[in-house]
Amino acid sequence: MKFYITTAIDYPNAKPHIGHALEKLYADTIARYKRIQGYDVFYLTGTDEHGVKNVRAAQKAGIPVAKFIDKNVEGFKELIGALNISNDYFIRTTNKKLHWPAVHKIWRAFEKNKDIYKKEYQGLYCAGHEAFVTRKDLDKNGSCVDHGTPPEPVKEENYFFKLSRYAKRVHGLIKSGKLEIIPSERKNEILKFLEKKVEDISFSRPRKDLKWGIVVPGDKTQTIYVWADALTNYISALGWGTASSAKFKKYWPADLHVIGKDILRFHAAYWPAMLLSAGLPLPKKIFVHGFVSVEGKKMSKTLGNIIDPIKIVKQYSSADSPQVGTDALRYYLLSEISPTRDGDFSQEKFEARYNGDLALGVGNFLARITSLGEKYLKKPIDPDYGGIKTEIDKKFKAYEKAMDSFNFPLAVKQAQALVAYGDKKINDSKLWVLAREDEARFGVEIARVATILATVAQMLLPIIPSSAQKIFESIGIDPTSKKEWHFKFKKGKSLFPRLD
């Protein structure tokens, strides 16, 4: 059972913001969930380092482009660490050993199939998109709908890829569900795009205008244009096109591409067409997420409201509990933001969720159990499902269903419902009184609430991995062990210290 999951690769033209954090986190949560289920997971993320956008940002910073990119890529790697992302590889499109041979190979395959041809092109180029756009992509003022900037008119000779030749086939594959697009709004959006007259797409740019990139094989005057280069990362990272393609044989096709809604067309139309042309199997599923706004406003440099996720992680962590900031941010993004629509980040909501769900929720539930357990329990005890099995099973099933459909807020809700259920059990049984007055009943009741807590920790393991691990440690359980569980309680430091 293998599971190959990818994020889109990011332009390292600036520091990563909270939108980058969200996508990596979605993929990470799914990757961890699949690993728990026993899948052999390969999780890929990385950076898209060629293209006009990166060159311009480097020029603006007054730094040679390679150096500029190297520095910014470090920021993306730092983000991965700060969020506790469990990626198996980080692909950089400037990787000449792994990535470039694959791009050349796929280009040759297009050529062989006569899917590449040269023609004069006149069009509107959006640097934000790294793509030619059409009138449909522009707003009333003639600016790009996604980027808010007017595209530049460009006239040049380029190589074109015969997307038109594949539009119908790709449409059929998506419509039949062979290539699944989630959510259905996005599926319909791409189907509509493929039903209209689909134009061939430019796959190269004159080298004199764009030297920063991979040269077209057999034509030194042209540079392979970013999408033909970038999308190939999903197979180049597995060694396709090199002598060692064992990983490719094992993991391709991708089980899931996680992408933002702005690059749907490239992933759900261009990429499948490219794979068909190259005679390669298609990915199975594409999960398209929305965007994050900040305090109700779109993030932008001009508004100065770009949220740096690394800063948030640092702000809420302490030397005592370095995992708190990481898991607080993971928890917020996964529980508060709608995975398929847009969501909002606000400091106030962030702190309210932290205090409500983490400090006073699961953190407090853990503290209640471990403080009584450590003090009053003489020996380790076994889990006890008496009277609680139905409720636990019901919530766990709902949790799995939510996770399988990438509805993370709904998955988190199931864990929170079990916390409330367990808290009520402690109150109803007056566990702190039993601890002093009725040893036998205390043993039974604490075993039951600890069983609920262990289930909560299982559910939270892909969501807030370090904190869930700490819960397991506090109740004496190794979640990876196949041995029978015995609870042994140890009251440690507060899992989520309350914010004032």
Q: Is 383 in the site for Zn ion (CB under 5 A)?
A: no
Nearest distance from C-beta of residue 136 to Zn ion, angstroms: 12
Q: Please, which residue, 152 or 404, has the CB nearer to Zn ion?
A: 152
Structure tokens at 315: 């702000």
Phi and psi, residue 222, nearest 5°: -130, 140
Which residue is at the shortest CB distance from Zn ion?
144
Close Cβ partners of 132 (under 8 Å, ≥ 6 residues apart): 121, 123, 124, 125, 126, 151, 154, 201, 202
User: For residue 15, how many other CB atoms are within 10 A of its CB?
Assistant: 17
Binding part of the chain for Zn ion, among 146-154, 188-196, 224-232, 298-306 by CB under 5 A, reads 146-154
Distance of CA 146 to the CA centre of its chain: 21
Count residues binding Zn ion (CB under 5 A). 6
Stretch that binds Zn ion, among 91-99, 111-119, 145-153, 407-415 (CB under 5 A): 145-153
Interaction between residue 126 and Zn ion (CB under 5 A): yes
Q: Helix 52-61 crosses helix 65-82 at what angle (to 10 degrees)?
A: 100
Which of these ranges, 105-113, 126-134, 181-189, 198-206, lies near Zn ion under the rule CB under 5 A? 126-134
Q: Cβ closer to Zn ion: 306 or 360?
A: 306
Q: Which of 77, 147, 314, 413 is in the footprint of Zn ion by CB under 5 A?
A: 147
Q: Which is nearer to Zn ion, 134 or 221 (CB)?
A: 134
Of the candidate spans 44-52, 124-132, 244-252, 286-294, the one that interacts with Zn ion by CB under 5 A turns out to be 124-132
In the complex, least distance from residue 46 CB atom to Zn ion, rounded to whole angstroms: 22
Cα dist. 345→222, 322, 349 in Å? Answer: 43, 22, 7
The answer to whether the CB of 16 falls within 8 A of the CB of 79 is yes
- Does position 174 interact with Zn ion (CB under 5 A)? The reply is no
CA pair distance 281, 196, nearest whole angstrom? 25
Q: Which of 18, 51, 30, 8 is nearest to 406 (CA)?
A: 30
Structure tokens at 75: 């920021």
Backbone phi and psi for residue 273, each to the nearest 5 degrees, phi listed first = -65, -40
Is residue 144 at the binding interface for Zn ion, with CB under 5 A as the rule? yes
DSSP structure string for 320-358: S-THHHHHHHHHHHHHHS-SSS-EEE-HHHHHHHIIIII
* 226 is an interface residue for Zn ion by CB under 5 A: no
Q: Does 146 bind Zn ion (CB under 5 A)?
A: yes
Per CB under 5 A, the segment of 119-127, 379-387, 459-467, 475-483 that binds Zn ion is 119-127
Is residue 262 within the footprint of Zn ion (CB under 5 A)? no
Pick from 129, 187, 257, 289: which binds Zn ion (CB under 5 A)?
129
* Residue whose token pair is 């042309």: 277
Which residue number, 125 or 331, has a Cβ lying nearer to Zn ion?
Answer: 125
If one asks whether residue 123 binds Zn ion (CB under 5 A), the answer comes out as no
Residue ranges in contact with Zn ion by CB under 5 A: 126, 128-129, 144, 146-147
